[in-house]
Amino acid sequence: MLDHPLTRIPMLFDLGVTLLLFGLSAGWGHRILQWLHVRVENPLERGLFAITLGLGAVSHVPFFLFAVGAGRPAILVTMVLALTLLFLRDTMQVARGAWRALRDALQDAPAWSAVLLLALFPLLVVTLFGALCPPADPDGLHYHLTAPLRYLREGRFVYMPTFLHVHWPLSVEMLFAVGMAFKLHYAAALVQYGLGILLLIATYALGKRAGGSLTGWLSAGLLFPLIRPEMNWAYVDLGIGLYTLMSVYALYLGWLQREKQGEDARYPSFWPLWRLSALCAGLAATAKLLGIVTIVVLAGVACMLLLQEASAGTGSRADRIGALQWPARMLGIGFLVVSPWLIRTWILTGAPLYPYFGGLFGAKDWSPEWQKRVSGYFQIFNTFRSRHLTASQVIQLRALTCIGLIPFGIMLYRWRYTATVRPLVALFFALTIAQVATSGIYTRFLLPLAPLAFVLLVWVVRVPLEQWGVLRWVAVALVAINLWLPYQLWQIARFPAQIEGEVEKAERTLPVALGQTSRDAYLRESVLLYPLSLWCNAHLPRDAVIVLSIWDAYAALFEHRTLTTNYYLLGAIRFGSEEETLADLKRLGATHMIIQEQTLPYFQAGTMDQEAHVRSQVEMPKLHRIAMRYGKPLHSEQGYTIYALQMP
């Protein structure tokens, strides 16, 4: 990791590293497209596929270095720089193509597009300033950043017994690791910012491909307010969103290619694009375990399209069987892409889909009781968390949602009006139903489907918008206002206050981006736990193991090994009795514990969801008693106290 005065200016160093990362991805992906013999004539679409594949390829560099125990920062930086030089010519070729595409798009852009650009540009700039700040988002500091930081320090993958999520696929976190190899406290939200920009461009391109320029512009404009918050967070949802959308995009292009080819043609000219679609679906699964649904659904929809075509032709059994080989290949390619991550999970935890099927494989720290808790957590709590729904209510709601979506999707699919976008309709409804059925109704889980939803929504109403100029300008104006008042057009009176809020955000974040406000100063104001983490990093021995018995378990702030204590998300610490809890803490080598005062806002009953309520009754009191009985208070900051544990 580099240490130079320039590294303290995120606008120069962190942004430069991010441009290097995405530039390498574009060049490497361009070379992959050549290796795969994929022909995409449109330069914008070709560039999008190149950088999407390239991001997946780059994420495997730290993966394989960590897998072989050679993932030290210096080695990772050397590898990235060497690959950048290797693919420099390809990167320049993609850059020239992107410049030509941008120039042509601006020259051919209709007058109304200027309204959207003028409304969007200031928000993109302010969002960039926020992305250049140190990440302060909950899940980012909990595990999205904790995993790459720990791997870089160890130089390899390690089992982290109380961090469930880090044992699942982490390809976006591997992109964070590339930036952290250059600078430990890299502004990782820049990766999400870049992914968000690509997602907007891809939404525009797909909309334009399906229904023309107006569909593209309005779809991207509607999407931006939804993804903007995540463009400032060290999360991964925009990564799986990009991979999912590009997998849909490639399948759609292949279908259009097959439609042009004619029913009687036998040579599968669509296959290179459908193979590309399967690769992107596999990358979606490497970004988040939920992406496995994308692989299965994509192959299923491809099978349906080919079987319908075979039935419309000769309808022979041989034709139908022959049609099945291509979806089967897609399924195999998708799982082949994600398989290194599943093998890694298997090696670290003892089960490839940990903790699921943990009993069958003999997984570490697994028990039937924990499996029941964690399954309930993901199946119940991820549906309208704040509504305090019972398990039966959640199951009924999800079932009714799926039952309602099925006939609606079939109706739209068979509607003659949607004939030219039928694969998009089928994929949207199939993916949505699969997500609701397997994971619940949760905005972040459904976010990867939002670009496709907006494309189809605008596509349906595009004809009157294109025919009547006044209606088109009204739609453009509403979308432009929606950029500033996200999905709250009725509160137009708040528009001046919204502008003031954006100015205030820029005034707060720009000094950080320029290095005028330090990382320490920013995090002291943003994260209550940060001052105590600084004290721990400065005063505790290097081999200390800190139990974070707190709501905001921001483990990434600590330079020591940490243990989280979420009752639902770990099996390594049992909470059946105080003796069991104490025994597990001793087994895990706990030396210190941080607890928080009940006067902090997390303990206010009105703000607690069902998960927090149970944790406050089961987990927190037991750990607090252990801290009081076996701990010695060392230091307190802003409602948090660190205890030195003296186990019996």
- 513-530: per-residue pLDDT in tens? 999 999 999 999 999 999
Residue 263's pLDDT is: 47
Which residues, other chains included, contact 298 with Cβ-Cβ below 8 Å and sequence gap of 6+?
Answer: 247, 248, 251, 277, 278, 281, 330, 334, 427
| Spatial contact of 492 and 478, defined as CB atoms under 8 Å apart | no
Distances (CA, A) of 258 to 251, 253, 298, 323, 498: 10, 9, 17, 13, 48
Tokens 């030195």 correspond to 644
- State the alpha helices, DSSP H only, in 262-421: 271-287, 292-312, 317-349, 358-361, 368-376, 391-414
Which residues, other chains included, contact 271 with Cβ-Cβ below 8 Å and sequence gap of 6+?
Answer: 254, 326
pLDDT over 80 (residue 600): no
Residue 156's pLDDT is: 97
Helix (H/G/I), strand (E/B), else coil: 68: coil
* Mean pLDDT, range 212-226, rounded to an integer: 95
Residue 318's pLDDT is: 63
Q: Tell me the pLDDT tens digit for each residue of 372-420.
A: 989 888 888 778 776 777 788 888 999 999 999 999 999 999 999 999 9
pLDDT top residue among 103 and 14? 14
Distances (CA, A) of 110 to 104, 106, 115, 464: 12, 9, 10, 17
Single-letter residue type at 131: A
Residue 393's pLDDT is: 87
Q: Is the dihedral angle over the CA atoms 48, 53, 54, 55 positive or is it negative? A: positive
- CA 270, CA 323: separation in Å to the nearest integer? 12
Task: Report the percentage of the chain scoring pLDDT > 90.
Answer: 76
- CA 400, CA 386: separation in Å to the nearest integer? 20
Residue 391's pLDDT is: 80
Compute the mean pLDDT over every residue in the chain, rounded to the nearest whole number.
91
* Mean pLDDT, range 494-505, rounded to an integer: 92
- Whole-model pTM: value is 0.95
Residue 299's pLDDT is: 95
- CA 421, CA 400: separation in Å to the nearest integer? 26
pLDDT over 50 (residue 606): no
- CA 600, CA 597: separation in Å to the nearest integer? 6
CA–CA–CA angle 272, 274, 279 (5° rounding): 95
Give the full edge-to-edge strand order of the sheet including 592-596: 561-564, 545-549, 592-596, 640-645, 631-637
Residue 265's pLDDT is: 42
pLDDT over 60 (residue 314): no
Q: Tell me the pLDDT tens digit for each residue of 283-310.
A: 999 999 999 999 999 999 999 998 887 7
pLDDT top residue among 546 and 493? 546
| Spatial contact of 409 and 431, defined as CB atoms under 8 Å apart | no
| Spatial contact of 459 and 210, defined as CB atoms under 8 Å apart | yes
| Spatial contact of 513 and 129, defined as CB atoms under 8 Å apart | yes
Q: Tell me the pLDDT tens digit for each residue of 86-130.
A: 999 999 999 998 888 888 877 777 889 999 999 999 999 999 999
